[in-house]
Amino acid sequence: MITARQIEAVLSGVLDGCGDAIADIDYRLVGTAAAAMRGVLLPAEDVDVLLRERADVDAFSAALSRHECLSPPQYLDGSKQYFASFEVQGIRIEFSTVEVESESDTTECIGTGPWNHFAMIRCGRRSAPVVALELRLLTELARGRADRYVPIWQFMQCHGFDAELLVRGLKERGISRVEHIDLTPLINPGIRLP
């Protein structure tokens, strides 16, 4: 398992090492590492970077060519991703597109969600765009992974969240209840869960 400090170090190293080769590429840190970078105590196993275009995956891959390539850039038909992974500083870092059309803004890696709902988090000398915790929570709720969604929800209750975004995401997924957490605190005046 890797810590938020290790995630920050590897991401900072990648961004600094790639320099101008990736300067104009729009990306988002997603997955468990994104939650850890925001301060949620979760065990992350790797660092996931979402990209818009296959050429962006290729650019990161070329810039990281001196590192061990675990999976060269390739299209994964089953998950509809263009994907590559490398080992940097002993940590697996994965780059991918997710090529599924959607109008939704409540999904972590599909549609407009990751591109509209994010925050810039300090990462060494730079700041990195990290997907909103609301989207991360919705992913884990949909997957039924209580070991992930419970700590995210507890953190969000202490640090605030966008209730309207969460309610829309729950409705889109047909989630009205889950084990181990009470979703009723999401209800604001005038907003009702399905």
**Residue from 10, 29, 45, 6 nearest 147 by CA:** 45
For the cut 50, the answer to whether the pLDDT of residue 194 exceeds it is no
For the cut 70, the answer to whether the pLDDT of residue 190 exceeds it is no
- The pLDDT > 90 percentage for the chain reads 76
Nearest-angstrom CA–CA distance, 36 and 105? 22
User: Does some domain include residue 38?
Assistant: yes
User: Does some domain include residue 192?
Assistant: no
User: Does some domain include residue 45?
Assistant: yes
- Those residues whose C-beta lies under 8 Å from the C-beta of residue 105, and which sit 6 or more positions away, are 111, 112, 113, 116, 117, 165
Nearest-angstrom CA–CA distance, 60 and 14? 9
57: CATH: 3.30.460.40
User: Does some domain include residue 104?
Assistant: yes
User: Does some domain include residue 191?
Assistant: no
Q: How confident is the model at residue 82 (pLDDT cuts 50, 70, 90)?
A: very high
Domain of 115, in residue numbers:
4-186
β pairing state of 126-131 and 118-123: antiparallel
Lowest mean pLDDT among 58-62, 123-127, 138-142: 123-127
Predicted confidence (pLDDT) per residue in 27-54, tens digit: 999 999 999 999 999 989 999 999 999 9
Across the chain, which distance is largest between two alpha carbons, in Å?
A: 55
The count of structural domains within the chain is: 1
pTM across the whole model: 0.91
User: Does some domain include residue 135?
Assistant: yes
Distances (CA, A) of 11 to 23, 54, 109, 118, 122: 14, 20, 19, 17, 11
Q: Answer yes or no: are the C-beta atoms of 39 and 119 closer than 8 Å.
A: no
User: Does some domain include residue 193?
Assistant: no
User: Does some domain include residue 194?
Assistant: no
**Residue from 109, 124, 112 nearest 49 by CA:** 109
Mean pLDDT, the chain, rounded, equals: 91
Going 131 to 132 to 133 to 137, the CA torsion angle's sign is negative
- Give pLDDT, residue 28: 97
